[in-house]
Amino acid sequence: QSALTQPRSVSGSPGQSVTISCTGTSSDVGRYNYVSWYQQHPGKAPKLMIYDVSKRPSGVPDRFSGSKSGNTASLTISGLQAEDEADFYCCSYAGSPWVFGGGTKLTVL
Amino acid sequence: EVQLVESGGGLVQPGGSLRLSCAASGFTFSSYSMNWVRQAPGKGLEWVSYISTSSSIIYYGDSVKGRFTISRDNAKNSLFLQMNSLRDEDTAVYYCASDWSYAFDRWGQGTLVTVSS
């Protein structure tokens, strides 16, 4: 199973919006509505931000939203804040395995 | 407070074995499927293995199939990963994570496994 494709880096200024894409195939992202997104700060464990493509766990700000079209999922972060600077990973259920994206470094300028 | 605490990591030679443990507290461990996810130094996340609540369903990633064995003890709120025939490329921080709707909702702090001679 190949990894999902994410941009290596994205950036934005405080208050702006950024979108991170996650491209898979018809066997993973395109087939299942089980795309999740994780935020990871340096030296910390990942944190679930979005599951089931667009659902937010309790405690995650509504500035974070997810969507999917075809084989590509997206995470949008609106009203960027300094503390949003982190690595973000997408993940898709793909039958018995799960497959992650390579990760995107978000820089808040 | 929900907690997942991994242990058992360390330095091991290629071809060696190691057993990781994950102690769960603050939630009903027996009601959740569990996973191991790893992260090589400076690299991204890689899903390793999955076990259902009753241990009846188990999956492994292709890179560890035949070498790693996942198990759990619901009476002791514990998850395990037996790792045999370790390779250099198995060097990583290993996280245990609970499953929620095919996502990983709770994570431990991770335990570092270093495979090197």
Please tell me the distance from the alpha carbon of residue A40 to that of residue A31, in angstroms, as a whole number: 26
Q: What does each of the 109 residues of chain A score in pLDDT, given as a tens digit?
A: 678 999 999 999 999 999 999 999 999 999 999 999 999 999 999 999 999 999 999 999 999 999 999 999 999 999 999 999 999 999 999 987 899 999 999 999 9
Which among B4, B38, B37, B10 is positioned nearest to B23, based on CA atoms? Answer: B4
| Total H helices, total E strands in chain A | 0, 9
Single-letter amino acid code for the residue at B101: S
In chain B, the residue whose alpha carbon lies closest to the alpha carbon of A87 is B44
Which among B13, B17, B38 is positioned nearest to B85, based on CA atoms? Answer: B17
User: Residue B42: CB partners within 8 Å, gap ≥ 6?
Assistant: none
Single-letter amino acid code for the residue at B90: D
10-residue mean pLDDT profile of chain B (117 residues): values are: 96 98 97 98 96 97 97 98 98 97 96 97
Which among A62, A59, A54, A56 is positioned nearest to A78, based on CA atoms? Answer: A62
Q: List chain B residues with CB under 8 Å of A97.
A: 47, 59, 61-62
In chain A, the residue whose alpha carbon lies closest to the alpha carbon of B46 is A100
φ, ψ at B30 (rounded to 5°):
-65, -15
Query: pLDDT value at position A96?
Result: 75
Please tell me the distance from the alpha carbon of residue A11 to that of residue A82, in angstroms, as a whole number: 11
In chain B, the residue whose alpha carbon lies closest to the alpha carbon of A53 is B103
Please tell me the distance from the alpha carbon of residue B6 to that of residue B78, in angstroms, as a whole number: 10
Indicate yes or no: CB of A48 within 8 angstroms of CB of B104. yes
Nearest to B100 among A46, A51, A99 (CB): A51
Query: pLDDT value at position A2?
Result: 78
Indicate yes or no: CB of B107 within 8 angstroms of CB of A47. yes
φ, ψ at A106 (rounded to 5°):
-95, 120
**CB of A77 closer than 8 Å to CB of A63:** yes
Q: List chain A residues with CB under 8 Å of B94.
A: none
Q: Which residues, numbered 3 to 62 in chain A, qualify as contacts with chain B under a Cβ-Cβ cut-off of 8 Å?
A: 3, 32, 34, 36, 38, 40, 45-48, 51-52, 55, 57
The nearest CA of chain B is from the CA of A34 a distance in Å of: 6
Query: pLDDT value at position A50?
Result: 98
Read off the pLDDT of residues B74-91 as tens digits, 9 standing for 90 and up.
999 999 999 999 999 999
Query: pLDDT value at position A95?
Result: 86
Please tell me the distance from the alpha carbon of residue A78 to that of residue A83, in angstroms, as a whole number: 13
Total beta-carbon pairs less than 8 A apart between chain A and chain B: 64
Q: Is A16 helix (H, G, I), strand (E, B) or coil?
A: coil
Query: pLDDT value at position A10?
Result: 97
Single-letter amino acid code for the residue at A104: T
Query: pLDDT value at position A1?
Result: 66
Residue ranges in chain B assigned as alpha helix (H): none
Query: pLDDT value at position B98?
Result: 97
Q: List chain A residues with CB under 8 Å of B101.
A: 34, 51-52, 55
Query: pLDDT value at position A97?
Result: 83
User: Residue A9: CB partners within 8 Å, gap ≥ 6?
Assistant: A104, A105, A106, A107
Element (H, E) at A54: none
